[in-house]
Structure 1
Amino acid sequence: MIINPSKILSTCGVAVALVLAAQSFAGGKDHKHRDHHSWGKHHSSNVQVGPRPYFLIDDMDESWLKRKLQRCENKPLRASDFSIGHRGAALQFPEHTKESYEAAARMGAGIVECDVTFTQDKELVCRHSQCDLHTTTNILETPLASKCSTPFTPAEYDEAGNMVRPASARCCTSDITVAEFKTLKGKMDAANPRATNVQEYLDATANYRTDLYASRGTLLTHKESIELFKKLNVKMTPELKSASVAMPFDGFSQQDYAQKMVDEYKQAGVPARKVWAQSFNIEDVRYWVANEPRFGRQAVYLDGRYDDSSFDHRDPATWQPSMAELAAEGVQIIAPPTWMLLEVENGKIVPSLYADSAKQAGLDIITWTMERSGLLVDGGGWYFQTVNGLNPNPVNPEPGVINNEGDMVDVLDVLAQDVGVIGVFSDWPAMTTYYANCMDL
């Protein structure tokens, strides 16, 4: 799953020393917290959220929540573990780059994400997918393009000008060594399927994003991300990505992969309590629970079962394993997309049966991704589908309630106060940071 000039939040621009007292990892008003979600301390100074939270709050419909948030406009800000930088600050900075991570930390994200995949020489690097280099880096403009699994092919058109074949390419981290990977530059994730040349293919950033900060996206290995996060004093949530190559890869098994990721935190001296290892693959989570119990204790099961045609988030009979079974296996945190946690009832956004069931089973919930759906005036797309009418409740269908940018804040409030999530991923953490501070999360 962002603008630039910062709103002055303290008189004379004086930097405020910010110290988080040890307390529970943030949750909802009725949410019971576990000791392993201790915030620890964030010695972050001069947290800045810029104008976007104020824009979103001003755009909200009139309500007590809007008035409460407006009253916090001059409150000094601290970093918050409730605010998680999704791929850094990917709304305006190239994802998984040093610049993106630094922007997320500056906005007060207490936890920042490195999606973890591996290179040809089995070194771990930060990329959202093993095979996304053609859309997230400049590889097609470099000599390394010759090493891509599938070279760039321009779009093909018929005599009438109709596209009969889109432009394509496939470049993977496993195609190149880590040394070669480090020569690349990050770009905003996008590709133009109508392109007739490489330049057109790469020049495709969505109109609600920007290329303003994309001139030097610095790529990082996983180890480098750990050292940067230590310097920024943020906690870490690495996601072990599914391999796009057959496993084992040159003798490198899935278990080796899962273990290597954890080992790099141990080698860097990072306490397990500061790491939320994630995976969509339940077997990875089971591996950490069984073999690295300190890290497994707060390993996150990313619930991607919505892609399974037999799964219905509104029907517990289709949840295999069930919430109770996940908890019995030692899974303590589940992380579905935002829409799976929400429904519309009598014109209001409320927790879904899925959300209630997870809490009843004793599971903590993290969700994703705010600021990733483009303009909410058009409904917000995939991430808001259960509250914008795109995926209506078949039992009690109601029209969508998302129709302006400020509605994002109402969704955030329901997630925090009614669903009781302990953290929210965002492509631009400013709003989640502002909300967490105003609500003392």
Structure 2
Amino acid sequence: MRHTLACAALLLCPTVALAVGGDQPHVGEPALSYGDRPAYLVDKLPEGALKTKLQSCEGQAPKRSLFSIGHRGAPLLYPEHTVESNIAAARMGAGILECDVTFTKDHELVCRHAQNDLHTTTNILTSDLSETCTVPFSPASDSTPATAECRTSELTLQQFRTLKPKMDSADKTATTAEDYQGGVAPWRTTLYTDGARSMTHAESIALFRDLGAKFTPELKSPVVEMPHDGFTQADYAQKMIDEYKVAGVPAEDVWAQSFNLEDVLYWIENEPEFGKQAVFLDASYRVKGFDHTDPATFLHDFAALKAKGVNYIAPPLWMLLSVEGGKMVPSAWAKAAKEADLKIITWTLERSGPLANGGGWYFQSVKDLTNNDAMYLQVLDALAQDVGVDGVFSDWPATVTYYANCMGL
């Protein structure tokens, strides 16, 4: 059974056929379009060299760029980790696409941002599978928000396939499971959720390859105790790599990620070709006392990481920037990582919504300079030109693609 996808928001609409019903998706490489958003952001820039340069590229033909990484696809407007979200990201020229990898009860690998996010990213609470949730839906009261927790590890792959993806959201004021499905941020939308399809990790490999993109899977930390029914962490890390090998994907096309340094070191030792591009996601910000401007608080010896074979490190974008004299500059953390010859990938642009309020968590180190959406491009320029990052994850990859094409990255 074959279907034709509807046009993606603000993008060109080539005919794309996709197999459904659990078969691996097969599509053609799409035509590329920036859509309206990059020009909208350029218009907001203050007069100056950056605006002049980016305006000069408005008529350029889009090209796919490895600098532009689709973060869970294009979840600014599309349900994350769906076929549709990733096709939209590919149409925006993202050269690398992401499947966050977790596992089901029968240890099949699927694309989900977390093992325990089904209550916010699918319709599980309003389905017959709600009884599998580890924390059943509890309605809000005057003193407590509504709660629920549902895990892929409680479902077989066959059960997982019956769920319908939705925008990642929850209405914490809800008194019914149906109302809990709401809570979508006002700068996102539900326009593109109808018929959205989730993927296994193996299906994501087939889809991304057909779209002309490369791969950056993230091995997500399990919320269940490991080993899980005999499935060890090493089994988990190995199975993710094995699915690329079975598909015939060359190691140089894969940037495997993990917040767990032991996973990265496992790949370096046991799958050295894949290990060369393994990405260590730095979560130093979670540790009390960490300060990205103070080397005395850094959790990692960058030279030691490099000596162990780690070549790529990926912090959130705010860790790479500081403000000095009213201008953005590379942070002490960024300088130390570069001095150790580590390549830097960062996350996540276009995840903060409108920036009139300082930009929230992702812009915390430059909040005093952040008062409108032009800051998306100004931060991107500082990351590319001053810090020298190798790639940027984005929830709307067209912005990064436009910038990368214009700057010749």
TM-score tier (shorter): over 0.9
What residue number does 2:120 align with?
Answer: 135
Residue by residue over 1:283-307, the C-alpha shift from the partner in whole angstroms, topping out at 9 and shown as x without a partner, is: 1001101111000000000001110
Normalised by the length of structure 2, the TM-score is 0.93
Deviation track 1:162-201 (CA, whole Å, cap 9, x = no partner) reads: x211111110000100011011111100101110001111
Q: Distance in 2 between matches of 1:335 and 1:223?
A: 24
> Is the CA contact (8 Å cut-off) linking 1:280 and 1:303 kept in structure 2?
yes
| Equivalent residue, structure 1, for 2:44 | 59
Instruction: Give the one of 286, 307, 324 matched to 2:265.
Output: 286
| Superposition misfits of 4+ residues, deviation over 4 angstroms | none
2:346 is aligned to 367
Q: Residue 188 of structure 1 corresponds to which residue in structure 2? A: 167
Structure 2 letter corresponding to 1:238: P
| SS across alignment from 1:355 | helix
Distance 1:139 1:264 in 2: 27
In the alignment, which residue of structure 2 is the partner of 1:4? 9
The aligned residue for residue 383 of structure 2 is 415
Q: Which of these residues, 371, 374, 381, is aligned with residue 403 of structure 1?
A: 371
Unaligned runs of 5+ in 1: 8-12, 15-42, 157-162, 389-399
1:251 aligns with 2:230: yes
User: Which digits, 9 at most, give the CA deviation of each residue in 1:191-233, with x for residues without a partner?
Assistant: 0111000111111110010000011220100011111111111
Match of 2:148 in 1: 169
Cα contact 2:284–2:299 (8 A) shared by 1 = no
* Residue 94 (structure 1) aligned to one of 76, 79, 87: 79
What secondary structure is seen at the aligned counterpart in 2 of 1:135?
helix
Contact 1:112 1:236 in 2 (8 A): yes
What's the CA shift for 1:346? Answer: 1.1
Secondary structure of residue in 1 paired with 2:356 = helix
**Which residue pairs with 2:64 in the alignment?**
79
Match for residue 217 of structure 1? 196
Separation of aligned partners in 2, 1:419 and 1:102: 30
Match status 1:261 vs 2:240: yes
Over the matched positions of the two proteins, sequence identity in percent amounts to 59
Residues matched between the structures, number: 390
SS at match of 2:268: helix
Cα separation, 2, equivalents of 1:5 and 1:267: 36
Counterpart for residue 432 of structure 1: 400
**Partners of 1:312 and 1:350 in 2: CA distance:** 15
Q: Are 1:68 and 2:53 an aligned pair? A: yes
Cα shift readout 1:75-121 (whole Å, capped 9, x = no counterpart): 11110000000000000000000000100000000000000000000
SS of structure 2 residue aligned to 1:369? strand
Q: In structure 1, what is the equivalent of residue 300 of structure 2?
A: 321
1:300 matched to 2:305:
no
How many angstroms does 1:44 deviate by?
5.2
| 1:357 to 1:48, Cα distance in 2 relative to 1, 3 A | same
Per-residue Cα deviation, 1:55-79 (whole angstroms, up to 9, x for no partner): 0000111111101100100011110
Q: Give 1:5 deviation, angstroms.
A: 3.1
Distance 1:324 1:354 in 2: 13
Taking the TM superposition and a 5 Å limit, the aligned residue runs for 1:113-128 are 113-128=98-113
**What is the root-mean-square deviation of aligned Cα atoms in Å?**
1.6
The structural deviation recorded for 1:126 is: 0.2
Counterpart code for 1:56: L
Q: C-alpha displacement at 1:312, in angstroms?
A: 2.4
Asked if 1:383 is matched to 2:362, the reply is yes
Q: Distance in 2 between matches of 1:82 and 1:113?
A: 13
* Partners of 2:11 and 2:91 within 8 A in 1: no
User: What are the superposed Cα offsets for residues 110-142 of structure 1, whole Å, 9 maximum, x if unpaired?
Assistant: 000000000000000000000000000011111
Match of 1:240 in 2: 219
* 1:314 shift after superposition: 2.0
Equivalent residues of 2:328, 2:382 under 8 A apart: yes
Tell me the distance in 2 between the aligned counterparts of 1:258 and 1:310. Answer: 31
Aligned equivalents of 2:281, 2:82: Cα separation in 1: 22
Aligned match of 1:37: none
Q: Secondary structure at the match of 1:53?
A: helix
CA contact (8 A) 1:316 1:322 kept: no
Cα distance, 1:150 vs structure 2: 1.2
TM-score if structure 1 supplies the norm length? 0.86
Contact kept, 8 Å, 2:82 with 2:165, in 1: the verdict is: yes
Structure 2: how far apart are the matches of 1:102 and 1:230? 11
User: CA–CA distance in 2 between the matches of 1:348 and 1:267?
Assistant: 49
Is 2:109–2:200's contact at 8 Å kept on the other side of the alignment?
Answer: yes
Q: Does 2:92 correspond to 1:107?
A: yes
Long gaps (5+) in structure 2 = 1-7, 15-27
